[in-house]
Every structure is written in C-alpha cells, then in structure tokens.
Structure 1
Amino acid sequence: MTAETESALLAPTPEQLAWQRAGLGMFFHVGINTFAGKEWSDGTVPASDFAPTDLDAEEWVRTARDLGARYVVLTAKHHDGFCLWPTATTDYSVASSPWKDGSGDVVGDVAAACRKHGLGLGLYLSPWDRHEPCYEDPEAYDAFYLRQLRELCTNYGELFEVWFDGAGSAGRVYDWEAIGALLAELQPQAMVFNMGPATIRWVGNEDGLAADPCEYVTRSTDLNNYDPDVVELGQARYLPPECDVSLRRGWFWQEGEEPKSVEHLLEIHDRSLGLGANLLLNVPPDRRGRIDPVDAARLVELRAALDARFGAPVAADLRAIAAPAGARVEAELPGPTVFDHVELVEDVSTGQRVRAHRVLDSDGTVLAQGGTIGVRRIHRLPAAVEAASLILEVEGEGAVIEAVRVHDATGAPAPALPEDYRAPTDAPID
C-alpha cells in the first residue's frame, strides 16, 4: 500500500479535526522549577519553595486568548513530581506550600479561567516522576499514576488535551492499556499527546518547526528530545503533529532570559501552523505567578505582526477544472489583487490526500509549490504580485480544496531565524 493510499484510508475523528483547526495553543510551564532556578529538578526541592506572591491564572489565559490561542496546556506535574493541585496521592504539592496557606489549586484556577474565556484546557502529567519512591516499582507506580490521572480527569471539567511527555521514560513501560481505558471513560474527547493511546504526536524537535511534507498518518513517533527512542505503533495511525517551543530559551521562567524576537516567532509560525501542524507556544509565568512584562510585550508585538500579515485576507471563489491527472482548481479573486502570501486549506475530513501542489498565475507562472497542504498551508512569495485569478494544481486522489486566500503583508515584519540560532537539543544539566 502506498503512503498516499494509506493516508486516504485514514480519516480524523471529529475531535482530531477540531483540534487541528484550533491550531494555536499556549503552554504554561510553571512549578517548583520556577523557584529552584532549574529546568529539571530532581524531586528534592522542598514544596515550601513554591511561593508565588501574586499568582493570576486568569492573566495567563487572557494572554493566550489575546494572542489568538484556542487552548492552553498546563504542567500539572513535571518530572520533579511536584503537583499543582492538592492531590490525595502525595504531600509533594501546592497543599504543602505557603501559597494561599496550602489551600490553593493552580489547576483549578486555570480551569476556571479557561471556562470564563472560552479556551480549551490541556493538562500535562509527566509519566516520569523523580520524587515518588514507588516509581522504582512499575506496578505500584502505575496504580499511583492512574490515581493522579483520575483526579485530573474528574475534578476540572472537560479536557481538550492530555500531554504525556516522553522525557526520562526511555526503556520504561507504563500501563498504557489502563491509562487508555481511564481516558476513554472520563475524557473521551481529549486529544492524547504522543504516548500510549495517542491521537496526536510530537513533531520531533523542541524548536517549533515542522517540515514539508507534514504527514498526518504515521507508523512511528519520536519519544522525546533527549533519547534516540522511537515508538513503533504497529500500524498506520492518523496522528497530526504538534510543534512545541518556548518563548524563551528554557521552558521554566529564569532570571536573565529574554523572549525570542518577533522575526524568529514569525518563522516558527510559518514553519508550524503554516505547514499544517499545530503550534504550542510556551510562555512561562514568573516567580510572582504573573506573565513577565517583557514576554507580554513581545506577544503583543507578535499579534500585531500577525495581524499586519494576515489580518485582511482576500478569499477566492473556487471552481474545479477537469484535468488528466490530479486535480486543478481555479481560484477567482474579486478583481486584480496585490498579494505576497497564498494560503491554502484542504478538506481533510476524509483523510489527508494532497501529496504535492503548485500555485500558478493565469499566465502559467509558478508562484509557489510544495508537498502537503493539510488544514492550512501558507506560502510566502519572494515578492508581491498582482493577479485576478490563480490556478492550483494538486496531486492526490480525491483531494478537495476547501479555501484559497491571499494576503498582502507589504511593510509587515518578515520571518527570520537568528544567524546564530541552534535548536535546543541537549538535555538539561540540572
């Protein structure tokens, strides 16, 4: 069976398609590491060190909403084992901290803010736990982990995503059958990230960059950024990718770090969302429990830059044209239009079918070309052009183009990776 045929036979569930169309999410890495000055602490930092002075989860969610995110993911428990909710499974949680005299619940605060502002709630629950003694006993730890997962799946309303980070779990086998059964019972609509009963997958790096082709059907996934392990799925599955990347160098807020430039963030946008993947942008709250003002200002700049590039789309009327091979679509614009970006949308409700495509003007000049399209594909042209119509040629049996839009980003900031940029591929040393 060819990759094209395999992809066409596998279609997304309604929940997968809704997640893909949501596109942009915001990650919140916050916890004991925020106060320990570490990326990965080892579970020995005292719970009393978690002491935000002005924690405002609603500010976090408003920041996500204002950027245009449709969902958030919170690190309810990172690898250190510290829990941001008052769990009954361990005393290593906010209940043992001075914050709100031990009566606080960060997960609950974020969940309430998501309900108020209409964003989906995602929760990250690290399988690897460096604090819990029973981690060395797989059977005991599986039972422990299931109790934690049940609390999160029961007490905070509907979840949009459950995030299983593979870091630290190379060679470890968890009870994924029981975990899957619990999720199917309590949160059947939630997307499951990358491990066990996964419905979405990691893109394979932590710099937020997908590649072309951006395939939604795969037989394997990368486990994490720190080990060469690959998760073999045994059969092809529809698992669209999510690109995770931090606004700063590290995942947790650390003194002295600066956010990425607008140009860098635009490059990430175009090489994740613009290639048909989802983007999960990490914005770490600081030791007050607030969004760092420098980070907040950068996100306002980013939103303005995105609006300048994509805020006034011109939609084309589409007409399918019979062609000897593949499909040919005529995209008629309202009139002569100046543009330097072309946005394409494929109907993937019955599967991802486009394997290659070309965008031509009415004279037959190729303006852009590439592999997959998926839920969205953005082409930045080398220079602005003027046209009243476009021709889209696609390869892929049964492919359906849902929309063609053009954008004029003249004068707007342009995407660019820093000259000295190096993707963060090394494991934290602490």
Structure 2
Amino acid sequence: MPVVLSPWTDRRRDEAAARPVQYGPLVTRRDDDAMRRFRSYGLGQFIHFGLYSIPGNQWNGKTSTSPAPEWIRSWRGPDAPENWTETYDRLNEVFDPTELDARAWARQAKQMGARYVIFTTKHHDGFALWPSAYSEYTVASSPCDRDLVGEVVDAYTAEGIDVFLYFSVLDWSHPGYTRTVPACDDSRAGWQDFLDYTRAQLLELLDRYPAARGLWFDGTWDESWIASHEFTHRLEQELRERRPGLIIGSRLRNDEHGARHFDSTGALLGDYEQGWERKLPRNREMLDGNDWDCAMTIGPNAWGYMHDTSGHYQKTADDLVDLLMRCRSMGGNLVVNFGPDGSGRMTAHETRVAEQLGDWVAQNAAAVYDASHVDLEPTGMGHLTGNDDSLYVTVTHRPVTGVARLRFPGSATLVPVTARLLATGKPLELHRRDIGYDLDSAIHYDVLIPADFTTGRAFVIELALGRPTAQNADRADAFM
C-alpha cells in the first residue's frame, strides 16, 4: 500500500511530483496589523454550543460513547434511542438556553487571559445561532428567538476580545447537500442551491457582524466540496473583498488537484494553519514559517457538552499551561475549547480550569503575549519564549540541582545580564560559565533557583538581555 503523508505529521515534499496550480493561495504570508495582532493573541477560547448541547452525550438514560457529543445526531446502533435522527432534528422546538449570559462568558474569558474567541455560528446539523434570512432552521424557529451570535460578538468585543466566527460547510439540514460529487441533473441542481445558500449565509455573517475579525471553517472534507474548487476560490475572493483584513484559516478550500490546507506545491491555502486540532508540531521547523494555532479540548475528544465524563480524563490548568507555552515557544496560539450545557452554563470543571489558568497567565503575561519563539537550544526544563529585550524560561521540569542552565552561542551579541522570578520579581543569582567542551564555543548561563522556593505550578524565569560584559577566554591547547 502507498504511504500516505499527513501535513500534520510529515512535511516531506516530492518536488518532481508537484503540479501546476491554478486555484492556489490568494494571499502570501501577511504582515498587516490584523496578522500581527493574531500572532500576539497567545491564548484563545473556543465555544461549541448548539442543539447538541441539549443531549450532551445522553438521552433518556442512554449514554453515547461514540460519536463525540457534537456529532450525536449520527448516533446509530442498538444503543441509540428509537427514531433518534427525527428526535434530534426537532430539538430546535425546545432550544431555549435561558442561562446563557454572553457577558458572563466574556468576563470569564477575559479573566482567563483569552485574547480571541471562536464561536460556533452553525455546526454540522445546520442549526444557525443567528436569525438567518436564508434558512428556517435557526434560533428564530425556537423558543430562544435570540441572536446568540450577535450577543457573543457584542459581549466579547466589549471586553476587548476579538471574535472569529466558526462556520460548518457540512450541513445535514439542507436537502441539496451531498457528500459525493453530484452525478445527475437533480443532484447537481440541489448542490448548486446549497452552494448559493452557503455563500449567502457567509456574506450575511460578515454584513451582520462587522466586528468579527475572522472565519474558522469546518466540514470541508467531502468529495462534493473538494470538487467545487472553482466556486470556493471565487468565494474566498468575495469574502476578502467584502471584509478587507479578514483572517481566514486554511480549511476553507482546496486546489483543483484536491490538496487541502496546502496546495499541490506546498503553499498554504489561507492566512494560517488551521489543522492543529488536539495536536502540536514536533518542532517549529515543521511550520515552514506559517502562522498557526492549536485548538484543544479539555476532555480527550469532546467539543460539545458531555453530561457524563466518567472515564474521560479532563485536562487540568497545569496541562493547559504546558500546552500554552509549547505553542508560544513555536510562535503559535493555544485555543481552549469550552462546551456549555443546553441551558448555556459552563461546567464546573471548565470554570475552575479557566480561573486557575487565568491566575497563572496574569502573573506571567510577559512570557505569553509579547514573547514568541527564540532561536536557542531547548533546555529540557520546559519552554523558551522571548523578544528583543527578554528571555523567558517556563520551568515545567525543575532541575534537581537547582541550576537552570542555558546555552548561548559564543558569538551571541545579546546574553542574559540579570534574572528574576517573573511572577514575584524576586532576583535570582546568574553566573556565566565557560564550560569548555571541545569543538564547542558556546557559553552557558546558570540561574540558581533558591532551595526554599516552592510552587505547585510551572514558574517562569525572566532574563533581561544585554551586551556581553566579558570576553570569551582563550582555552589552553591540548593535543589528542
């Protein structure tokens, strides 16, 4: 069998096999204000909310172990409730999240340290959380009858948090949607009707919510959408023309050869890599200089609300601090997913994790927001971030020796000159060490961690950078 390479595990390219591309990227790497802002977000929040939040992973005493809660409409087999699809499709008749307070959500996100939010305007079931003029399957056909998208956009914008709108192309509610390429006149007509509907809803979102800064796409993997590359190419052009500066992830479309996220020459299709879901790059070199973020669930693989999480590991604030700083050390953002219940309430665990993560981020903000990748050798202690003036060491594995050692090239023009604990400002001893490995001109800098310093979480050492104050000593020659 042929070896299938995923762009998320292997970026090897066969230059000889590269084919000319007509429907490739519409933009190259951007360096405008919007993208510079994106790079400094650091931490974001994802909210999955919709009809699937009502059942979670349970219905009438039965628990679904597969599929994931947001896919629960696809529940099949002997354990599925009778007439489940029909039951699910009528959940709009009882959808009324009376406890949903977008302002409270936004305040919680602000306290957590989130700089942007991605909100599900329409998931795969097709139920729109705004009163779309192009569908009858919306909040307007429910007891809720509120513009939830508008409430979220207004509340988060008021807190200074940028809003990205999630939009699923895959739509189980539209009669013209098909997974395969239409093969007859009727199915082609139905598919064209679906494409027109999708375009109309996307333009409607941009027109209704001018404060939204980006679109986050999902459900673009079916053959029907992949074969519509001419349409999707025009659609992206139109979206960008309608909203200059709009940020679009790599998942919207593919080229004419079916290559998704990246075209057949390896060029990124969009403004940033959107495929890092519940996974991170092995190293920064994998990214080829592309912008990116990582969307991460708190549970193993549940984006929507779960009534029953027994047997499912729930990530802690410590897990998320580690993931956050791994992302920042490679120049990316971490987006933590929340799945409110059917009434619109965050779970107790989500609330606790948000508070604990927020406390850590507030104390160590300088290492998160305005610091990114630094070209230094990994330390094994944790993660390195920095900027022109400072270097930050997020220590997740405290050295038993009490010495945090950093390796700098002997030719470095900026080196550590002072050290302190970022959260408290406590000064730390710093020593320059010329260890003298053969064929290695590197100079090491040791930060002494006080033995009486105790903490239950990762901590950050801040090193101010300056010109070297000592010359590298000549090492005595020896013969081998």
- Whether TM-score is above 0.5 comes out as yes
Superposition deviation, residue 209 in structure 1:
3.0
Deviations 1:204-236 (A, max 9, x none): 3x325343125543xxxxxxxxxxxxxxxxxxx
Distance 1:395 1:207 in 2: 38
Q: 2:358: which partner in 1?
A: 303
1:53-202 to structure 2, matched below 5 A, reads: 53-99=98-144, 102=145, 104-136=146-178, 137-166=190-219, 168-169=221-222, 172-173=225-226, 174=228, 175-195=231-251, 196=253, 198-202=270-274
CA displacement 1:380-402 (0-9 Å, x = unmatched) = 36435479xx7744999xx999x
Q: 1:130 to 1:411 in 2, by over 3 A?
A: farther
Distance (whole Å) between structure 1 residues aligned to residue 55 and residue 382 of structure 2? 48
Distance 1:407 1:210 in 2: 28
Q: Which residue of structure 1 aligns with residue 322 of structure 2?
A: 267
- 1:127 to partner: Cα distance: 1.1
Q: CA contact under 8 A between 1:129 and 1:135: conserved in structure 2?
A: yes
Indicate how the Cα distance of structure 1 residues 391 and 282 shifts in structure 2: closer, same or farther if over 3 A, else same.
Answer: same
Residue identity opposite 1:270 in structure 2: M
When residues 345 and 253 of structure 1 are mapped into structure 2, their CA distance, relative to the original with a 3 A threshold, is closer
| Cα-to-partner distance string for 1:245-284 (whole Å, 9 max, x where unaligned) | 1223410111133742222222222222333211111112
TM-score by length of structure 2 reads: 0.61
Superposition pairs for residues 306-385 of structure 1, below 5 Å? 306-307=361-362, 310=364, 345=372, 356-358=375-377, 380=395, 382-383=398-399, 384-385=402-403
Q: Name the amino acid aligned to 1:188.
A: P
The equivalent residue for 2:341 is 286
Separation in structure 1 between the aligned mates of residue 333 and residue 225 of structure 2, nearest angstrom: 28
Instruction: Report whether the alignment pairs 1:254 with 2:322.
Output: no
How many residues align? The count is: 337
Answer yes or no: is the 8 Å Cα contact 1:26–1:69 preserved in 2: yes
Corresponding residue for 2:34? 15
Counterpart contact for 1:20–1:240, Cα < 8 Å? yes
Residue of 80, 88, 94 corresponding to 1:49? 94
CA separation of 1:61 and 1:312: change in aligned 2, threshold 3 A: closer
Equivalent residue letter for 1:247: I
Does the 8 A contact of 2:250 with 2:275 survive in 1?
Answer: no
Change (3 A) 1:55 1:299: same
Q: Look up the SS of the partner of 1:36 in the other structure.
A: coil
Deviation (angstroms), 1:93: 0.9
Alignment of 1:399-410 (within 5 A): 407=421
Residue 97 of structure 2: SS of its match in structure 1? coil
State the alpha-carbon separation in 1 of the partners of residues 30 and 270 from structure 2: 15
1:209 matched residue in structure 2: 280
Normalized per residue, which structure has more strand? Answer: 1
In 1, Cα distance between the equivalents of 2:175 and 2:414?
Answer: 53
| Alignment CA distance shift 1:10-1:391 (3 Å) | farther
C-alpha separation between the residues in 1 aligned to 2:105 and 2:355?
Answer: 13
1:12 partner letter: D
Residue identity opposite 1:275 in structure 2: M
Shift of the 188–80 alpha-carbon distance from structure 1 to 2, 3 Å rule, reads same
**Aligned-pair identity (%):** 26
Once residues 22 and 291 of structure 1 are traced to their aligned partners in structure 2, the CA distance between those partners, rounded to angstroms, is 23
Give the direction of change, closer, same or farther, for the CA distance of 1:169–1:407 in structure 2 (3 Å limit): farther
Shift of 1:15: 2.1
Distance 1:247 1:290, change over 3 A: same
Aligned to 1:22, the other structure's residue is in SS state coil
Structure 1 position 58, deviation (Å): 1.2
Residue type matched to 2:101 in 1? D
Q: Are 1:345 and 1:374, in contact at CA under 8 Å, matched by a contact in 2?
A: yes
Contact 1:89 1:148 in 2 (8 A): yes
- Where 1:172 maps in the other structure, the secondary structure is helix
Change (3 A) 1:306 1:22: closer
- Report the Cα distance in structure 2 between the residues aligned to 1:405 and 1:16, rounded to whole angstroms: 32
Following TM superposition, by how much is the alpha carbon of 1:133 offset from its aligned partner in structure 2, in angstroms? 0.8
The answer to whether the Cα contact below 8 Å between 2:112 and 2:359 also exists between their aligned partners in 1 is no
Give 1:90 deviation, angstroms: 1.2
The superposition leaves residues 95-136 of structure 1 with CA deviations (integer Å, 9 ceiling, x where unpaired) of 11111xx2x111010011022111111101111111111113
Say which one has the larger Rg: 2
After superposition, give the CA deviation of every residue in 1:52-91 in whole Å (9 maximum; x if it has no partner). Answer: 1221111111111111111111000111111000001111
Q: Is the 8 A contact 2:328 2:385 kept in 1?
A: no
Partner of 2:434: none
CA distance in 2, matches of 1:65, 1:261: 19
What amino acid sits opposite 2:308 in the alignment? Answer: G
**Does the C-alpha gap of structure 1 residues 11 and 186 become closer, same or farther in structure 2, counting only changes over 3 Å?**
closer
Contact preservation (8 Å) 2:42, 2:332: yes
Partners of 1:146 and 1:400 lie apart in 2 by: 51
Tell me the TM-score normalized by structure 1. Answer: 0.67
Specify the alignment match of 1:239 in structure 2.
Answer: 290
> What secondary structure is seen at the aligned counterpart in 2 of 1:357?
coil
**Uncovered stretches (5+) of structure 1, i.e. residues with no partner:** 4-8, 218-237, 314-340, 347-353, 360-365, 416-430
| Cα distance in 2, alignment partners of residues 370 and 64 from structure 1 | 24
SS at match of 2:156: helix
Offset at residue 240 of structure 1 (A): 1.1
Tell me the distance in 1 between the aligned counterparts of 2:233 and 2:126: 22
For residue 70 of structure 2, what is the aligned residue in structure 1? 39
Mapped to 2, the partners of 1:394 and 1:212 lie a distance apart of 24
2:124–2:219 contact (8 Å) kept in structure 1: no
